[in-house]
Amino acid sequence: MKLAQMLPVSTTWVLDNAASVLTALIVLLVGWYLAGFLRQRLASMLYGTPRIDNTIVPLVSDLLKYSILALTFVIVLGQFGVQTASILAVIGAVGLAIALALQGTLSNMAAGILLLWLRPFNAGDAIDAEGISGSVLEIGLFGTRLRTYDGIAVYASNARLWNAKIINYSREPRRMVEVTIGIGLRSSIAEARE
């Protein structure tokens, strides 16, 4: 088909569907603006919250942004007569395939979110997690960086830390220490106490 033959058809289609095209453009622009605006507002609100770790703020705010953008694109495609149920089914199937392919990575990410949310340890704490011990430098989304007591850098996966028994040596400010001191039979107990 030549360009001269296609041009009248496309202009006729545009004139017949001008309301749908205009509505789709408005929805697209509003959705795009709203996604960016709400992402910024959520990020600034979460950065000011003391119980939320700053590591997780970009993840949560980007998740909100891309969810709004995906919903906007589904609404825009619905304006042109595309069946939204089939789009959602395809998105669900792709999401399932990605989740199965990234199962180990997603378990590390879920464990990282739980570590940041429940806070069994913070950056700077001295911990021992069944063989992984040291001072916590950074709690990331996929792994945690530690420095062992002899100065070696360790990067441990969050899933391994989450499934381990964590002993936090820095959490409590006071500890009880019991020390047994032996005294000879001929020694004076009073002198030993002094």
SS3 content of the chain, % helix, strand, coil (to 5): 55, 15, 30
Residue 73 identity: F
The dihedral built from the CA positions of residue 115, 116, 120 and 121, taken in this order, carries a sign that is positive
Distance CA 76, CA 90 (A): 16
* Low-confidence residues of the chain: pLDDT under 50: none
For the stretch 76-127, pLDDT in tens is 888 777 787 877 788 888 888 888 887 888 888 888 888 878 888 888 899 9
**What are the structure tokens assigned to 31, written together?**
């959705």
Give the Cα separation of 132 and 158 in Å (integer): 11
What pLDDT score was predicted for residue 55?
Answer: 66
List CB contacts of 169: < 8 A, sequence separation 6 or more: 125, 126, 127, 128
Count of C-beta atoms within a 10 Å radius of residue 174: 4
Rounded distance, CA 145 to CA 121, Å? 12
CA distance 118 to 187: 53
Q: List strands edge to edge, sheet with 126-129.
A: 153-157, 143-147, 132-139, 126-129, 166-168
DSSP code per residue over 45-71: HHHT-TTS-TTTHHHHHHHHHHHHHHH
- In this predicted structure, what is the pLDDT of residue 135? 92
* 77-to-15, 20, 70 alpha-carbon distances in Å: 18, 10, 11
